[in-house]
C-alpha cells in the first residue's frame, strides 16, 4: 500500500466542466479554494452548457478575480491538451480584445464523457470515441508533458459504479475490488477508460487515481436523466415514462457531496488507487418518482410504465468504507432535503431547462421519451 501524500494543485484542468457535475464542481472548488485557478476544457456537446457557469464567470472570469478560464476544445485533440499542460493555450473568449493564457496545469479532473446510457444503446460509437479514445489522448498528453517537464502532478479519472454491472437485491454492495462487468455500451466505455488509466499508472508511472461514483442529483442536470426528466415533465403535466416495473434500485448522491469527494481524493488520495464514492442511499426508481410527485403536488396518474431499457441493470449499491476510513469523507446531504432543494431549483430555473430542452435536446431526443 502506497502512502497517502497531500497534493495541492495551483492550476486544475477540468475536462467536461460545462456539464452537470463539472459545472457544480467548478463552482464549489473556486469558492472553497481561493488560491486555485481552474481551466474548463469542454467541447460543448448537447450536454455542455455555459449558461450553467454564468455566475462563476462573473465572479471568477476575466471581469472577476481571474481564476476561471474556459477553453472550447476536444479531449481527443492531443495538441490542445499538450499546449494547455504547458501553459501555452489561450482561453476562448470571443468578445474579448485579448484572450488570456492560463498558467501551466498541475492536475486534471477528467469528467468529459458521453454519459447517458440510453444514448449509448442507440449509438455506441461516440461513447467509445469520447470515453475511451478521449481518455487515452489525455493520458498520452500527460505522459508526454511529464516526460518533458517532470513535476508534482495528479490525474483524477471520474468513473462510475456502472462498471461493476448489476447486483441482485441481497448481494453485498460493490467494493473497489468487485470485478468489472459492465452491461451497457456506456459502462463498457467507462470501464475501458478505467483500465487505460490503470495501465498508464503501471506502465508509465502516471500519478493517476480513479473514482467510481453512484447516481448524482442536484442543480444543472440535463433533463434526460431520471430526476430532472421527471421534474420537468411533471411540471408540464406530461406523462412520466418509467422503465419496466419501476423497481430498479439506484444509489443517490448529491452532486455537491461528489464535488467534495473528488477534491478529497485529488488532495489526499493515493496514486494508483480506486475510490468508491456513494450516498448510501438506495431507492427504487418508483420511490424517487413518487417523492417528486409529492413535492410538486402532482398526481401519480402521470406515471406511465414503458418497455424496460435493454440490458437494464437491476441494482447498484456502493460500499464507501475506503472513502470513510482512509479519507474521512462521507455524504452530508440527506436525499429528502436534497431532493426538495433540487425540485425547488428546477422550479426557479425554468428558463434554464426550457432552453436546454428546446435547443439541444429536441434534435436528439431519447427514445424513451416517446410514449410506449
Q: Distance between CA 47 and CA 223 in Å, rounded?
A: 10
Shortest gap between Cβ of 214 and ligand NAD (angstroms)? 6
47 lies in the site for ligand NAD, by CB under 6 A: yes
Shortest gap between Cβ of 296 and ligand NAD (angstroms)? 22
Determine the size of the site formed for ligand NAD (CB under 6 A): 29
According to DSSP, the residues that pair with 184 across neighbouring strands are none
Shortest gap between Cβ of 15 and ligand NAD (angstroms)? 6
Contact in structure between 262 and 15 (CB atoms under 8 Å): no
Single out the catalytic residue among 161, 224, 257, 313: 161
Which residue among 37, 80, 120, 130 contacts ligand NAD (CB under 6 A)?
Answer: 130
Q: Distance between CA 1 and CA 232 in Å, rounded?
A: 47
Which residue among 11, 36, 85, 113 contacts ligand NAD (CB under 6 A)?
Answer: 113
Give the SS3 label for residue 36: coil
Among 92, 7, 87, 86, smallest CA distance to 41 is for: 92
Which residue among 37, 115, 248, 264 contacts ligand NAD (CB under 6 A)?
Answer: 115
Residues 196-235 vs ligand NAD: string with x where CB under 6 A?
-----------------x-xx-----x-------------
Instruction: Dump the DSSP string for 104-164.
Output: PP-EEEE------HHHHHH--HHHIIIIIIHHHHHHHHHHHHHHHS----EEEEEEEGGGG
Residue placing its CB nearer to ligand NAD in the complex, 37 or 49: 49
51 lies in the site for ligand NAD, by CB under 6 A: no
Site for ligand NAD, residues 312 to 371, rule: CB under 6 A = none
Which residue among 134, 279, 331, 338 contacts ligand NAD (CB under 6 A)?
Answer: 134
Shortest gap between Cβ of 35 and ligand NAD (angstroms)? 25
Is 275 designated active site? Answer: no
Lookup result for grid cell 406515471: 303
Instruction: Dump the DSSP string for 214-275.
Output: -EEESTT--TTSHHHHHHHHHHTT--EEEETTS--EEEEEEHHHHHHHHHHHHHHPPTT-EE
Shortest gap between Cβ of 30 and ligand NAD (angstroms)? 17
Residue placing its CB nearer to ligand NAD in the complex, 18 or 196: 18
75 lies in the site for ligand NAD, by CB under 6 A: yes
Is 161 designated active site? Answer: yes
Indicate the helix (H) or strand (E) that contains 18.
Answer: none
Specify the pairing of strand 68-72 against strand 215-217.
unpaired
Q: Distance between CA 145 and CA 152 in Å, rounded?
A: 12
Site for ligand NAD, residues 285 to 314, rule: CB under 6 A = none
Which residue among 9, 14, 20, 360 contacts ligand NAD (CB under 6 A)?
Answer: 20
160 lies in the site for ligand NAD, by CB under 6 A: yes
Single out the catalytic residue among 42, 91, 114, 162: 162
Contact in structure between 39 and 73 (CB atoms under 8 Å): no
Give the SS3 label for residue 294: helix
Is 77 designated active site? Answer: no
Output the furthest CA–CA distance in the chain (Å, rounded): 62
Residue placing its CB nearer to ligand NAD in the complex, 129 or 344: 129
Residue 81 carries which DSSP code? H
Which residues form the interface with ligand NAD (CB under 6 A)?
15-16, 18-22, 42-45, 47-48, 74-76, 111-113, 115, 130, 134, 158, 160, 190, 213, 215-216, 222
Could you give the residue numbers annotated as active site?
Answer: 161-162, 186
Amino acid at each position: 500500500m502506497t502512502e497517502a501524500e497531500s497534493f495541492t494543485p495551483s492550476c486544475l484542468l477540468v475536462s467536461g466542466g460545462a456539464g452537470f457535475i463539472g459545472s457544480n464542481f467548478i463552482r464549489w472548488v473556486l469558492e472553497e479554494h481561493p488560491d486555485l485557478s481552474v481551466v474548463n476544457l469542454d467541447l460543448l456537446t448537447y450536454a455542455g452548457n455555459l449558461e450553467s457557469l454564468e455566475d462563476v464567470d462573473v465572479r471568477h472570469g476575466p471581469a472577476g478575480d481571474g481564476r476561471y478560464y474556459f477553453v472550447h476544445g476536444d479531449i481527443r485533440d492531443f495538441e490542445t491538451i499538450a499546449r494547455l499542460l504547458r501553459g501555452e493555450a489561450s482561453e476562448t473568449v470571443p468578445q474579448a480584445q485579448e484572450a488570456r493564457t492560463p498558467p501551466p496545469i498541475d492536475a486534471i479532473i477528467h469528467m468529459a464523457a458521453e454519459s447517458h446510457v440510453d444514448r449509448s444503446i442507440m449509438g455506441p460509437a461516440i461513447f467509445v470515441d469520447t470515453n475511451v479514445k478521449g481518455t487515452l489522448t489525455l493520458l498520452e498528453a500527460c505522459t508526454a508533458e511529464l516526460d518533458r517537464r517532470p513535476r508534482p502532478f495528479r490525474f483524477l479519472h471520474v468513473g462510475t459504479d456502472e462498471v461493476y454491472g448489476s447486483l441482485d437485491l441481497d448481494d453485498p454492495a460493490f467494493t473497489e475490488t468487485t470485478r468489472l462487468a459492465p452491461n451497457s455500451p456506456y459502462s463498457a466505455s467507462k470501464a475501458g477508460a478505467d483500465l487505460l488509466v490503470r495501465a498508464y499508472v503501471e506502465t508509465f508511472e502516471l500519478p493517476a487515481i480513479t473514482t467510481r461514483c453512484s447516481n448524482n442529483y442536484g442543480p444543472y442536470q440535463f433533463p434526460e436523466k431520471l430526476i430532472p426528466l421527471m421534474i420537468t415533465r411533471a411540471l408540464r403535466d406530461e406523462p412520466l415514462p418509467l422503465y419496466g416495473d419501476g423497481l430498479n434500485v439506484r444509489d443517490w448522491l448529491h452532486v455537491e457531496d461528489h464535488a467534495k469527494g473528488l477534491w478529497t481524493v485529488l488532495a489526499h488520495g493515493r496514486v494508483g488507487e480506486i475510490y468508491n464514492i456513494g450516498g448510501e442511499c438506495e431507492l427504487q426508481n418508483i420511490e424517487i418518482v413518487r417523492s417528486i410527485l409529492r413535492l410538486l403536488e402532482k398526481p401519480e396518474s402521470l406515471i406511465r410504465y414503458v418497455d424496460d431499457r435493454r440490458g437494464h441493470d437491476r441494482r447498484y449499491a456502493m460500499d464507501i468504507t475506503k472513502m470513510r476510513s482512509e479519507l474521512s469523507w462521507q455524504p452530508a446531504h440527506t436525499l429528502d432535503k436534497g431532493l426538495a432543494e433540487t425540485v425547488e431549483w428546477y422550479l426557479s430555473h425554468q428558463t434554464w431547462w426550457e432552453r436546454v430542452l428546446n435547443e439541444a435536446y429536441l434534435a436528439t431526443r431519447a427514445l424513451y421519451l416517446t410514449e410506449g
